[in-house]
Each structure stands twice: as structure tokens, then as C-alpha cells.
Amino acid sequence: MPAASVLTSPPRSFDASGRALPLTPEEIDRRAALALQALDSLEGMGDEEEQRETFAYLARAVNEDRLSNRPRFGS
């Protein structure tokens, strides 16, 4: 499995009142491209069997110690 890179947004610029200044169209496009890159990188993480096992584990963990008798995910 490839290592996931951590993407962080650059800090926004603020005016004297603390309001965020609007982003330029170029900055919006750049951030959109980074978001798509991050989503594309998720596609290659793990195979189908690993994803099924992960979901089964998470579903069991979520259903444990619930206040309600109804499971969040099927039993």
C-alpha cells in the first residue's frame, strides 16, 4: 500500500477586521486540483478484500456498546 501524503491548505489572508479575503480564481483552481489528487490517491489504497475486512471491523466497533439495541449497521 502506498504511503498517503498529508495535504494541508495554505493559511488564508485576513483583513484588519479578521475577515477572510477572497481567494483568487487561480488559487481556487489549485486547491480543486489538490483535492482531486487527494481523492485519486484514495482509490489505490488497499484491495477489495482489505476494504471488506476494514468495513466489517469498523461496523463491529460502531455497533459495540450502543445505547440503543438497534445496530447502526446490520447484525
In angstroms, the first-to-last Cα distance of the chain is 30
SS3 state of residue 70: coil
3-state secondary structure 27-45: HHHHHHHHHHHHHHHHHCC
pTM for this entry:
0.45
Q: For 25-61, what is each residue's pLDDT tens digit?
A: 998 899 899 999 988 888 777 788 988 898 899 888 8
CA distance 40 to 2: 12
Q: For 57-66, what is each residue's pLDDT tens digit?
A: 988 888 887 7
